[in-house]
Amino acid sequence: MKPLRILGIVFGIFLALVAVGIGTLYALFDGEKIKSELSAAMLDKHQRKLDIAGKLELSVWPDVGIRLGRVTLSEPGGKAEFFALDSARVAVAVMPLLSKQVQLRRVEVNGFKVILVKHKDGTLNIADLLNGTAGHGKKTEESQKVGDGDTAREPLQIDIAGIKVANAQFTWRDEKSGSTTAFSNINLGTGRVQADGAKQTVAVDAVSLAVKGKSGADAFDLTLDLPKLSLAPGKAAGDSLTLSASLTGSGRSVVAKLLLSGVEGTAETLKIGKLTLDADAKAADTVVKTHIESPVAANLKQQTVTLEKLGGSADISNPQLPMKQLKLPLSGSLRVDLAKQFAALNLGTQFDESKIVAKLDVVKFSPLALGFDLDIDTLNVDKYLPPKAADAPPAKDDKVDFSALKGHTASGAIRIGALQVSKLKLAKLNAKIKLAGGRLDVSPLTMNLYEGTASGGLTLNAAGNGLALKQNLSAININPLMKDLADKDLLEGRGNVVLDVTSHGDSVTAMKKALAGSASLTLKNGAIKGINLAQSLRDLKGKLGAVSAKREDATQQAKAGDKTDFSELSASLKIAGGVAHNSDLAMKSPFLRLSGEGDIDIGNGRMYYVTKASVVNTSAGQGGKELEHLKGLTVPVRVSGPFESLSYKIEFASLVSDAAKAKVEEKKQEIKTKVEDKLKDKLKGLFGR
């Protein structure tokens, strides 16, 4: 029994010592004093108000811990709230305290909230907390006294059994751009976390993170799972990392999953055996599914990441697409240099007859500056667009907004061997593109089209939503160009077109009505469609007498099969307020000369024009011999109405008046000739000659 009694006495002494220690700990622990000192120090050094509501609670079983209640920290000056905390508890293992070691059992935080602000001058609202200076930017006296009597600090040792953060919130606000991103319902949990400052090792078990948030009108969810991660000077390794994210907004959604497997490396380098990214995006009826995979090499010291063998695919589906679904294979490489703010992407794909190679260089991350080079051999855009319904209602006025050009810098080149878009057929397209200061310049812009060539430039400007176009079209076949570009069948012939126009407005209609500048046209061996002047003038032979009595004009609608041939046609236009005025129309044919003057109202899609046709040769061309009776006369033709249904009014009354005058003049000349002949005969008799 004696050993048991000794053991009991020893155990009793141990309990007494523990009780004395606990009592001493409680006696020495002054929560109110700690609160007061912390608040005073924060106010003195940073001019921030620290408020710790309730009492600091101390617990000693089953571990030593401190529990906090509601805590708030203000912005400098004590005005707005910067940081808030509903509750927190830090628990320390008891036994390691006996050997002067601190081991955290649990770190629990609930209701953590912080608002991070980037001011207009680029500074952050936590600058004073990061660099240890006061709110007015001067270093405190204490921060300058480094090493005065201090002893060397021992390497950091961390051993936490687990971390739990629940219902945290984080808000990022950029005052310069006016954007706000909010992260809510942040929940973080880990298993054991160990760090040894002397050995420079870190080991983390079972990390899980879940975040919900909102950016503008978009809401997002993010989850992260990492079973195990270990870092050491000579080696780094981890199990597979899984990151899932979803984004939902107005009429669109994105779901993505990132998987990293085979993670290994050192403190300076990191290798990932395989990166796999799967993303599903949906906007209205269009669904895009993307799969990308590649090994990854990263240099943590140099801050570079390289994906040398990038491969995958992109599937695009839409029930209105002619082929319903389009699959694009992807291959290329990606290199990112964070230290130099540089990234380079090479990407290639091929589908149907199209082969596309794209190179993208990010030469600066903030503000974003891009360089690119795009090479496409053949592309028929119309083939992959939904067909327009025949009975579809007229499209509403399309809005035009160039504000997306602001805040970006880019330059590059585009080359396309053959391109069809909106029925327009182009070949050997070459364009140099520059975007800066909200202005997009495409110059030079050259291409082959409709048996001819085009060269010039295009400018879009976010300031005033403006547009400027200069183009010289040479040896163009005008009829198929007008049909494909504007669905108009008005002219035939080959020749040159020169455009120098500007406009502005927030819609297509507004831009048409604000169109200004100049244009010119020269064509050869063509025709004016919709009217056969030769036939109309031949008909005058039978109508002239009846019209003389009634003195009426004749109006006819444009006919698809009618046309007036010409050997040469030229005209120049002065454009202002969406109205193009012409006063120098000149057309030549084997028997006709045509001049004209009038307005083409581009803004309202109408024409008001008067041409004057003169018969100059009746021996050839379009039945010219039948027009002998009109030789030397001018026939006025008034063209008016909407572009879709132009009408041609031949002013017979004016023609008859001119014809009558011509007959009188002819009769006068005949009488004059007869009188002169008789006078000559008499003079001969008088002088005997």
Residue 31: pLDDT band with limits 50, 70, 90 = low
Give the largest CA-CA distance in the chain. 191
Instruction: Say whether 511 sits in a helix, a strand or coil.
Output: helix
- What confidence tens digit (pLDDT) does each residue in 47-91 have? 888 888 877 777 666 667 778 788 888 888 777 888 888 888 888
- What confidence tens digit (pLDDT) does each residue in 637-685 have? 888 888 877 787 776 665 545 544 555 455 555 555 654 555 455 445 4
Q: What is the pLDDT of residue 86?
A: 86
Encode 497-524: b = buried (16+ Cβ within 10 Å), e = exposed: bbbbbbbbbeeebbbbbbbbbebebbbe
Rounded Cα distance between 333 and 329, Å, is 14
Looking up tokens 């707005």 gives 80
Question: What integer best gives the mean pLDDT of the chain?
Answer: 78
Per mean pLDDT, which range of 136-145, 492-501, 599-608 is the poorest? 136-145
Provide the token pair at 48: 């921030």
% of the chain beyond a pLDDT of 90: 27
Average pLDDT over residues 12-19: 45
Looking up tokens 């014809």 gives 659
Q: List C-alpha distances in Å: 541 to 129, 362, 611, 630, 678.
A: 100, 75, 21, 9, 35
- What confidence tens digit (pLDDT) does each residue in 392-427 have? 555 555 788 898 888 888 999 999 999 998 889 999
Q: What is the pLDDT of residue 396?
A: 58
Rounded Cα distance between 283 and 252, Å, is 4
Average pLDDT over residues 348-358: 89
Contact call for residues 194 and 206 (beta carbons, < 8 A): no
Residue 355: pLDDT band with limits 50, 70, 90 = very high
pLDDT of 97 > 50? The answer is yes
Q: What is the pLDDT of residue 339?
A: 87
Provide the token pair at 436: 């800066």
Contact call for residues 632 and 592 (beta carbons, < 8 A): no
Per mean pLDDT, which range of 102-106, 282-286, 593-597 is the poorest? 102-106
pLDDT of 140 > 60? The answer is no
Q: List C-alpha distances in Å: 466 to 403, 404, 440, 463.
A: 11, 13, 10, 7
Q: What is the pLDDT of residue 142?
A: 44
Q: What is the pLDDT of residue 33?
A: 76
Provide the token pair at 457: 């430039």
Residues 405, 410, 415: CA angle, nearest 5 degrees: 105
Rounded Cα distance between 185 and 167, Å, is 5
Residue spans per domain, the chain: 13-136+154-216, 489-662
Per mean pLDDT, which range of 231-240, 285-294, 325-334 is the poorest? 231-240
Residue 9: pLDDT band with limits 50, 70, 90 = very low
Q: What is the pLDDT of residue 105?
A: 75
φ, ψ for residue 660 (rounded to 5)? -65, -45
- What confidence tens digit (pLDDT) does each residue in 178-206 have? 888 888 888 888 888 888 877 878 888 88
Residue 549: pLDDT band with limits 50, 70, 90 = very low
Rounded Cα distance between 423 and 509, Å, is 21
Residue 353: pLDDT band with limits 50, 70, 90 = confident
Tell me the whole-structure pTM to 2 decimals: 0.65
Residue 313: pLDDT band with limits 50, 70, 90 = very high
Residue 551: pLDDT band with limits 50, 70, 90 = very low
Half-sphere exposure of 212 (CA within 13 A, CB side): 5
Burial of 167 from C-beta contacts in 10 A (0-12 / 13-18 / 19+): middle
